[in-house]
Structure formats: structure tokens, C-alpha cells
Structure 1
Amino acid sequence: MRYCLLISLFIFHTASAQKAKPDLGRHLQPTVFSLTMVMIHDVANPPAASRFYTYCLLGAYEIVATQNTSIPQSTSFLSHFPKLRIETPTSYNHQIAALLCMLETGRLMLPSGYMLEEDEKKLLETLRKEGYDANVIEQSRVLAQKVAREVVAFAASDNYLKLSTRLRYRPTKGDGYWFPTPPGYIEAIEPHWRTIRPMLIDTCNQFIPQPAVAFSKDSTSAFYKLAYEVYTEGKSLDEKKRFIASYWDCNPFAINTSGHMSIGFKKISPGGHWMNITSIATKKAKTSFDKAVLVHTLVAATLMDAFISCWDEKYRSNRIRPETVINRYIDARWQPLLQTPPFPEYTSGHSVISTAVAEVLTYLIGDNFAFTDDTEVLFELPTRDFKSFRQAAEEAAISRLYGGIHFRDAIESGQQQGKAIGTFVVDKIKRAGVKANQ
């Protein structure tokens, strides 16, 4: 009897000593969102934001994959990333190290990365309150800093630093080509983004879409009909369509004018919106911390490559925006519901990246996965319910027609381009051993 009692006490003591601390997974979404908030502050343009997310998560992924053998090494699916020399400390927590690595990489890479120092302090304070050993936290922090430095060194070789040395972009002369639009008449954003080294796809022009409908002033032409559709749609929007357009606006810097005064409003980027959806979905699916890091990293890398592919096409076709066409040839006073972005029209960026990411999330988390998106609550818009990632992507794509900033063929071809990218990524990570919906 005494022997049984001692065993029971031992089991109770062991269970108490090993009592699980609060799940570190609950810190993942706030950490990713900390990166988002700095990007909003910096007005990171959509392609650049996707690049920042990718590198900030890449180090965290490496740390997780070193500890968890069920997570494939990134070198098995990333085209150019070298195997990092990660020497794990004698006493550390790989999840703490992964979280800190995201913040440290962001601190080093983002223009206002210093803002993340406060987020790191708050995280460290919380971890101490949760009972994590001070030595474990410190060794995790040291590892995070080392890995972050290696990731930043790798990022420096992707041609991003060379963009500012290229010739300044000048709009092409001609009726059918893109030209800066009101109210800001901002010059072209990232005209040389095609030169950025991709992460998962092979080349920037691997997924060239079908040619855009050719520009024409002829009122009987296919192009004129596309323009007239945008015009009539914009004049007859109901409240539902207005809301959908506004919900997926995702313009990092919208300008409102009143008389001679212009006011800029900072908002989340398209990639930032999908990164938050990823956080929402992994939390709802009760995905483990390690798998959630994998999902976030693959979504970020897909976003980065989808933007590279899309921007390659944008500055090849260099097509005029609906606002310019309609003001010149249909109605000089017509205005789109959304502010026209400062880059060529074909293909629709949101259509490409949303469709690509939806394919990846459908594989990793599940088809017909219902979720409530609260991303835009920060910008005083209500939550929105979706039955699947693909449904959300479909809505994001058509929102560009409702917003008056894209022709229908740019949306549909963008979806085809995104689907091809997403399918390629899924096939690649399958071969690397990334399992579906586990």
C-alpha cells in the first residue's frame, strides 16, 4: 500500500513538474501581426511586404525544422536557400527561438524595424511570467539572433539592394500604355521587381499568362467592351458590391483629397491580409506551433513568388488602367470606387496572389474550411465569413472589378496565373514531404 502511494506521489509530482505551460502557439499570430504593423507604418508596397514576411519567417522555419524531424528542411523545396549552420544550445526552447527570430529578422530588415524591439521586450516579459527558465530564454534569444543574421545575409543577395541603382522608370508613350493616375499621380511602383530572386518558382516568367485583350478605341472592339463594363459596373454598384470592393481594397497608402488638401491613409497590404487569414485559420484548426510556422512560411513564400510573377507580366504588357481609358474615351468625370494603384493593370495582383495562396492553404489546412476573417476590423470594417479559402480568393479577385481598377480579363487571367503558381507550389512541397491537413 505504501509502495503504491509512493508511486502515485511520484507520478503526481512528475506530472506537476512537467505541467504544460501556456501554448506558445498563441504568441504566433501576435508576432506575425507585429511585423504587419511595422509594414503598415512604413507603407511597405505589396511586393516588398511579401518579401519581408518571407525572410522574417524563414529563420523561424529553419529553427523549427532543426528540432522537429517531421518538418522537411527548407532546402528540399526552396530553390536557392543554403542549409544554415544551426548549432543548437544545450538548453533552449525552439519555439521561443522561432518567435524571437521573426522579430529579430524584422528588426534588421524593415526600415522601421527598431519598433519591434518593444514587441520583443513584451514577449520576453510574458515568457518569464509564464515560468520559462531565464537561461532557456537567453539561449533561445542568442540562437534567434544568429539565425536572423544568416537569413539577412542571404536576403542581401536576392537583388533587392540593386533596385535603387536601376534607371528610373518612364511611362511608355502610346494610347494603350499605363500612365500615372489621380489623385496622387504616383510614379510606377517596383518596375524592376521581376529581377528579385524567387523562392519556390524557377523564374519570374515561368507562368506567363495569356496575352491581354489588345487596346482599342473602337466602340465595337473587345477592349472597349471591357472598359464599358467597368464603367457601367461602377455606376450601378449596390451596397454589397461596394462593401466587397472596400473590404479587399488593401491599398497600403490611399490618398483622400479635399480641395487643395490631400490626406493619406495607411492600410494593410494584400499579402498582409492573407498572412492574417493564415493566422486565423491555423488558430481555428488548432494547428501545432511547428506546423503553423510551416504554413505561415509557405504562404509568405507563395505570396513573394506570386508577386514576382505578376509584376513580370505587369511591366511586360504595361496596360492602361480603366480610369484612364474611361476618362479619355467614355466619361471625363467618372471615378472608380477605389483609388487606382500606381502600376500597370494586367494582370490583377490581388487575383494572382489570392488564388495562389488559396491553393496552398487548401492543401495545408483543408478544402471547405470555414473561417471568420477579422483582418479589416482594424480599419473599421466588420468581420466577414467565408466557407473556404477559394471562396475568399474568388471574392478578392472580383472586388477589383467592383472597385473600378481592373478589367475582367486581367482578373480572370490573374486567377489562372495564380492557380498555376499555387498548383506548382503544392506539387513541389508534396514532393518535399510536406503533408496535407495534419
Structure 2
Amino acid sequence: MIKRISILILALIATSAYAQKNKKQPLPYLQVDKAINAISAVMIHDVVNPPAASRYYAYVTMGAYNLVSLNNKDIVPVNNFIKSYNQDNQISIPQDKYDHSIAAMYCILETGKQMLPSGYMIQEDEDKYIVLLKESGINDEVIKQSIAAATEMAAKVIKYSKSDNYGKLSGRLRYSPIKGGKNWFPTPPMYMEAVEPNWKTIRPMFIDSSNQFIPVRPATFSTDSTSEFYKEAMAVYKVSKNMSVEQNMIANFWDCNPFAVTTSGHMMIGFKKISPGGHWMNIVGIVVKKAGLSFDRSIQVATLVAMTEMDAFITCWDEKYRSNGIRPETFINKYIDIKWTPLLQTPPFPEYPSGHAVLSNSSAGVLSYLLGDKFAFTDDSEIPYGVGPRDFKSFKQAAEEASLSRFYGGIHFKDAIVNGNQQGRDVAAAAVKKLKAAGVNPLTY
């Protein structure tokens, strides 16, 4: 009996030790959020627009994912769920010569360094990372071989990225705004030209085409005060006139406008902020730590969310330039109140549907599949911009708040949010369907 109890106690101790090992904070040199934050910092510096930012996040994480899947049979290879991905992921460095986790971290940085306009800035992050590895007692030869593995994989991913039609965008017809009527027209204070009018031509990841999930038609444009469209505009106007403290905070917390500027006399001052996709990637960094996920699983979550974000913007932008909807600011200034200004600065692209709605619901859908639909977390993504933190009981709740923030901010009509929510859920459902078919299951933690 004593022997059996001793064995049971040892088993419990072993189980407890295993649980603690998997729940402890990641090693200083294996914190996924640090590498992603380095990428985000350069994109903020470059004022990368939201669709393009989602593309960069997808590719910088893809190489890391490939290195993890090569070394962990539990991580399903990319080509099992991304039909366009047919790259040979084998690298020349023997697996016993490098540390795949270190290689994956370095690959995120190296891919960003080579792809981003100001990628040269990431050299400093790479140099600091090598110093950190040495301070952590990692063998010089392992560091050398891990960097070589990362560089090889980054080259493969960059080669794949060059076939997604991004390089052809500059050769396509530019967008010519049409003033008057239902059409979108540049808005104050900078009256910037339309952002990425041809983004629908970018090759998607999970979805089959940019127009796979066309949302229902928005309210028909009308200046008749009894029309549905006019009522939509009045709803935006009224909420701005009776804004609660909480509504104001929600709007500012989810602003995420890389193009924000303010005027001071004859000067215009720009405020660089994280993109909507960057905000959700930061949420990924928060929740994988809270869940105590292993490094490999953390990379998996980050990559799958990033790929979904890329698809969200492709399908959203497809509709934006199809419906070419007028922004509330333009309509209200012309037909309701010439002096009215929205709480948030209106982004430079058509109104319908809400990009925040599509992006947030697609990201939340995949996160809910992987980590559960009741995962509570505290989002501190906007603290650097003077807002937050905010607590959420689920990813769905966060997505709903992010979507509604655009109504409070005065930059979207309600139907752009409601129907954008559905489009985002559809994108997530398509991604989850392919992940299930490939054998990517919900995570345990």
C-alpha cells in the first residue's frame, strides 16, 4: 500500500511539474510578442496602411511557423491548409545543429527586415537578440546555425510573397473619386487619396477569392429625411452629441488610425499609431502568455490569426470599392450640419463595410476556435497611446466593442458595422473549416 501511495505521489508531482513547466513565463529569448512588437514598431514608423500591415504580419509569422512545423510533428504544415502554398520548406541545416525556437524568433525579424520599407531598422533588434542569446548561455555555434536556418526560411517565404500580386498594385489604375451623390470622397483634414483601391487582387490565404463573402447591400443613399439612409446618418450625428464617457473611451481605445493628424494654425501634426491588425496581434501576444502556451503553440496562434487578418482585409476592401460608400462626415456636413466633425478622424477609404468590424470578428473567430469562446483577458494594447487598459470576458465581446467603436467615433453608419460583423464571422468560419479539415484542433492549456 505504502509503495502504491508513493508511486501515486510521484506521479502527481511529475504531473504538477509538467503543468508548471508549460505554464511558466517563456524564456527571455523566446517571447513571441517581442519579435512581433519589433515588426509593429517599424510599421508604425512607416505609416503602413491597415491592409498592407496585415500582409506583413502574415508573412513574417509564416516563416516562424514553417520552422516550428518542421521540428514539431504536432504543428500541421502550412500547405495542409493554404492551397496556394507549395514551397519546399526543407532547409540545408541539420535539425540537430540548430534550435528551431531561436530560428523562428530570428526569422520573424529577418523577414520583416527584408520586406518592410524601413526594414533596415530591424537590424538593431537582431543585434540585440544575438546579445540576449549569448547572455542566456546559448552556444555560439547553435546561434550561428539557428540564424542560418532562419535566413533560409525567410528567403522561402519572401519568394512565396512575391507571387501574391502585391508587386503589380502600382501598375493598376489609380482611384478617381467622384464628388457628390452616394460616392466616397476624400475627407478632412488631409483629404488623402483612397488607400489600396486594388487590394482585392491580392492572393488570399484561407478564403477562395476576395468576393467569396459579399455582404448584403448597404442602405440606399438618400437625402430624404424619412429614408433609412438619412436615419442612419442621424443616428451617427445624435450619438456624437450625447456621447457618454464610456462611449468616448471605447471609440478612442479602438481608434488604431495610422493616418491620424491634427492641425495647429497652419501646421499639420501627424500622430503615428498601431494599425487595427497590429492591435489584434498585440492581443495575441497577451493571450498566449496568459494561456501559458508553449513557444511552438504561441507561434501557431500568431500565424493563424495573422493569415486570417490578411483575408479579412482582402474581402473587406473588395466590398469597400464595390459599394464605394460615402462617409458620415461627408453626408452630415452637406445635409445635416456643416460644422459637425466626428470624434475620430475619418480614414481615407470608402465607408462600407467597417474594416474594424470585419477584422475584429475574423480574428476573434479564429482565436475563439483555438483558445475557447470564454477566454477572459485584459487588453493593454493602447496604453502607449494614452488609453486603456480594458477587460474582456471573451474575444467575441472584444470584437463587438471594436466594431461599435466606429459608430461612436462617427466614422461608420450602423449597417456597415452590423454587416461587417457578419462578413468577419464568415471569413473566420472559412478559416476554421480549413483548419479542422487539416487536423488543426483547439488547444489545451
* TM-score range normalised by the length of the shorter chain: over 0.9
Shift of 1:330: 0.4
AA in 2 matched with 1:238: S
Alignment of 1:2-401 (within 5 A): 23=27, 26-87=30-91, 88-89=93-94, 90-401=96-407
AA in 2 matched with 1:129: E
Structure 1 residues 256-314: Cα deviation after superposition (integer angstroms, max 9, x where no partner) = 01222110100000000000000100000001110110100000000000000000000
User: What SS does the aligned partner of 1:266 have?
Assistant: coil
Q: Distance in 1 between matches of 2:390 and 2:179?
A: 42
- Please say if residues 26 and 295 of structure 2, whose CA atoms lie closer than 8 Å, have aligned partners that are also in contact: no
User: What SS does the aligned partner of 2:233 have?
Assistant: helix
| Corresponding position of 1:10 | none
Shift of 1:21: 12
AA in 2 matched with 1:239: V
1:430 aligns with 2:430: no
Q: Distance in 1 between matches of 2:83 and 2:225?
A: 47
- Please say if residues 66 and 78 of structure 2, whose CA atoms lie closer than 8 Å, have aligned partners that are also in contact: yes
Larger deviation, residues 131-140 vs 84-93: 84-93
Shift of 1:74: 0.4
**Distance change >3 Å, CA 424–CA 404, structure 1 → 2:** same
AA in 1 matched with 2:138: Y
User: What SS does the aligned partner of 2:358 have?
Assistant: helix
Q: Distance in 1 between matches of 2:192 and 2:26?
A: 47
- Please say if residues 194 and 349 of structure 2, whose CA atoms lie closer than 8 Å, have aligned partners that are also in contact: yes
1:411 aligns with 2:414: no
Q: Distance in 1 between matches of 2:170 and 2:149?
A: 32
Q: Distance in 1 between matches of 2:431 and 2:246?
A: 33
Instruction: Percent identity, please.
Output: 56
RMSD: 1.4
AA in 1 matched with 2:273: K
Shift of 1:81: 1.0
| Corresponding position of 1:402 | 408
Shift of 1:25: 7.2
- Please say if residues 81 and 435 of structure 2, whose CA atoms lie closer than 8 Å, have aligned partners that are also in contact: yes
User: What SS does the aligned partner of 1:257 have?
Assistant: strand
**Distance change >3 Å, CA 332–CA 174, structure 1 → 2:** closer
**Distance change >3 Å, CA 313–CA 327, structure 1 → 2:** same
| Corresponding position of 2:12 | none
AA in 1 matched with 2:203: R
Shift of 1:24: 6.0
User: What SS does the aligned partner of 1:385 have?
Assistant: strand
Shift of 1:127: 1.0
**Distance change >3 Å, CA 22–CA 389, structure 1 → 2:** closer
Residue segments in structure 2 that go unaligned for 5+ positions in a row:
1-20
Q: Distance in 1 between matches of 2:26 and 2:283?
A: 23
Structure 1 residues 98-118: Cα deviation after superposition (integer angstroms, max 9, x where no partner) = 001100000000000011111
User: What SS does the aligned partner of 2:31 have?
Assistant: helix
User: What SS does the aligned partner of 1:375 have?
Assistant: coil
Q: Distance in 2 between matches of 1:153 and 1:425?
A: 23
AA in 1 matched with 2:287: A
Shift of 1:435: 1.1
Runs of 4+ in 1 over 6 A off after TM superposition: 19-22
Residue segments in structure 1 that go unaligned for 5+ positions in a row:
1-18
Q: Distance in 2 between matches of 1:185 and 1:197?
A: 29
Q: Distance in 2 between matches of 1:113 and 1:211?
A: 40
- Please say if residues 79 and 202 of structure 1, whose CA atoms lie closer than 8 Å, have aligned partners that are also in contact: no
**Distance change >3 Å, CA 25–CA 365, structure 1 → 2:** farther
User: What SS does the aligned partner of 1:372 have?
Assistant: strand
Structure 1 residues 209-266: Cα deviation after superposition (integer angstroms, max 9, x where no partner) = 0011110011100000000100111111011101100000000120101222110100
Q: Distance in 1 between matches of 2:122 and 2:209?
A: 33
User: What SS does the aligned partner of 2:97 have?
Assistant: coil
Q: Distance in 2 between matches of 1:123 and 1:356?
A: 32
AA in 1 matched with 2:80: S
Shift of 1:153: 1.1
Q: Distance in 2 between matches of 1:171 and 1:130?
A: 56
- Please say if residues 276 and 375 of structure 1, whose CA atoms lie closer than 8 Å, have aligned partners that are also in contact: yes
**Distance change >3 Å, CA 189–CA 367, structure 1 → 2:** same
AA in 2 matched with 1:391: Q
User: What SS does the aligned partner of 2:316 have?
Assistant: helix
**Distance change >3 Å, CA 26–CA 146, structure 1 → 2:** closer
Q: Distance in 2 between matches of 1:232 and 1:132?
A: 60
